[in-house]
Amino acid sequence: MTMQLIEGGATGAEPLSKKQIADLKAQHGEKLVLAETETGEAFVFRRPSRAEWRRYMSVLLNERRAHERDVAGEQLCVDTLVYPAGGDGPDTQRLRKTFDLLPGLALQIIGDISDLAGAGQGQKVGKL
pLDDT digits (tens, 9 = 90+) for 9-52: 333 444 688 999 999 999 999 999 999 998 888 999 999 999 99
Burial of 126 (0-12, 13-18, 19+ CB in 10 A): exposed
CB atoms closer than 10 angstroms to residue 66: 11
CB neighbour list of residue 84: distance below 8 Å, 6 or more residues apart: 42, 43, 90, 91, 94
> Is the pTM here over 0.75, yes or no?
yes
CATH topology of domain 2-116: rbstp2171 (3.30.2220)
Angle CA(35)–CA(88)–CA(105) in degrees, nearest 5?
20
pLDDT digits (tens, 9 = 90+) for 95-122: 999 999 999 999 999 999 999 999 876 7
Domain borders along the chain are 2-116
